[in-house]
Amino acid sequence: MRITGGILRSRKLLTIKSDRLRPATDRLRESMFDILANLIDFHEAKALDLYAGTGSVGLETISRGAGHVVFVEANPEVADVLRENARSLAVEDKCTIRVMKVEKYLNICAKEILSEKEKFDVVYIDPPYALNDTTHEIVNRVLSQGIVTKTGIICAEHSKEYSPPLSHLFRQKIFGSTILSFIKPVQCRKEERSANDVNKGNGSLEQYERHE
């Protein structure tokens, strides 16, 4: 597994064998970041990587210019590999690693009032497929708690077999059995007009791209 773009491009990442761990493939990450690059400015961006695993997505965000990433990973052994990846890339100063369940981290966030500068520009949600039924709940919590900037993006990865009803969904990309869903907490007027044109009464624009 390697970083696919940015100043750390081609650098190798450690991983770990686990039935609960499902690292994003290089191809999927590259495609995801190609989309995100047209939606947000990564320069000094602040990111939140939920279900971070060994950190491939969050670390690539740093490679592409992010100023800081908060990683949330419940498994201490997996979190140790994440720390080693951050150390080997010499980006520890841009990483905060929280070894706890995502729900607990969001409970902590719920007790804080964040200024716009303290909020996240991008939030990644990638639960193990065994926990796919929590995707909808976690997306809604992130939205309702207001921890994403007004121009921010939520990117959720989930199984094609479980397609949760996601609020503010405006784009999806399909890779075999995996779907990337892109969610905007606040959509610009142009996108809202497009949404109404495409999905009368739905309020969300869903663009599907398939890559088998």
pLDDT(117) > 90: no
Q: pLDDT, tens digit, for every residue of 130-153?
A: 676 788 889 989 999 999 998 999
Residue 4 placed within a domain: no
Once rounded to an integer, what is the mean pLDDT over residues 183-196?
Answer: 52
122, 49 Cβ separation under 8 angstroms: no
**Low-confidence winner among 15-29, 30-44, 80-94, 115-129 (lowest mean pLDDT):** 15-29
Confidence of residue 57 (pLDDT cuts 50, 70, 90): very high
Domain around 205: 26-211
Answer yes or no: is 12 within a domain: no
Mean pLDDT of the chain: 83
Given a cut of 50, is residue 89 above it in pLDDT?
yes
- Does 3 reside within a domain? no
Listed in sequence order, the DSSP H helices in 4-120 are 26-36, 56-63, 76-88, 102-110
Task: Check which CATH number belongs to the domain holding 177 and give it.
Answer: 3.40.50.150
Number of domains in the chain: 1
Residue 186 lies in a domain: yes
Let me know if residue 32 belongs to a domain.
Answer: yes
Q: Does some domain include residue 5?
A: no
- Give the mean pLDDT of 185-190: 52
C-alpha 32/C-alpha 49 separation (Å) is: 14
**Is residue 75 in a domain?**
yes
**Average pLDDT estimate for 14-26:** 74
User: In the prediction, which pLDDT does 201 show?
Assistant: 33
